[in-house]
Amino acid sequence: MTAWKRWFRHLFTDHWSVRRAFPPAALRAIEKAIGEEERHHAGQLRFAVEASLPLGELLRGVRSRERALECFGRLRVWDTEHNTGVLIYLLLADRRVEIVADRGIHGKVGTTAWEAICGEMQQEFARGQFERGVVLGVRAVSDLLAAHFPPSGDRRNELPDKPVVL
């Protein structure tokens, strides 16, 4: 995407864009999917969506990956007992999905698997299927978590299941 096109998208993608893509019913469905999927593994999932970058970040040339890493820390996804937190981050203006996984799970799964899930989600988003894309991503991440971190005796929910709109 050209720099001008990216600027234009960021300047005109606002909280109403997020609301159109993720109405309250879609956010509830995503929250429900996260809660249900977390019963199948010992990991913790978060979904965050951001309409666009703040102007200062856009001027500095921040990319979706950098912003996802920042949100991973700010939302404390790293702060799970077994280092199995996973953030699915969507920067709506760029239509970019980033998956940031804590070291406990990332070391077992690797970058290629996360990128494949992101690609599948982005295909759904390109068709306007935002809720479906996120739910598919949540299920795919959960399958990887279940394979490497099956449920244990201590099943407390360390991170909220509710999607975060930044």
Q: Distance (Å, rounded) from C-alpha 35 to C-alpha 45?
A: 9
| Number of domains within the chain | 1
**Cα 106 from Cα 73, distance rounded (Å):** 15
Beta strands in the chain (DSSP E): 44-50, 85-91, 96-101, 164-165
What's the whole-model pTM score?
0.93
Q: What is d(CA 73, CA 133) in angstroms, rounded to the nearest whole number?
A: 24
Residue 20's domain is classified under what CATH number?
3.10.310.50
Domain span at 124: 3-165
**Distance (Å, rounded) from C-alpha 124 to C-alpha 131?**
9
CA atoms within 13 A on the CB side of 92: 26
Per-residue model confidence as pLDDT tens for the chain (166 residues)? 688 898 889 989 999 999 999 999 999 999 999 999 999 998 999 999 999 999 889 889 899 999 999 999 999 999 888 888 999 999 999 989 999 999 888 888 888 999 999 999 999 999 999 999 999 999 999 999 999 988 877 678 889 999 999 9
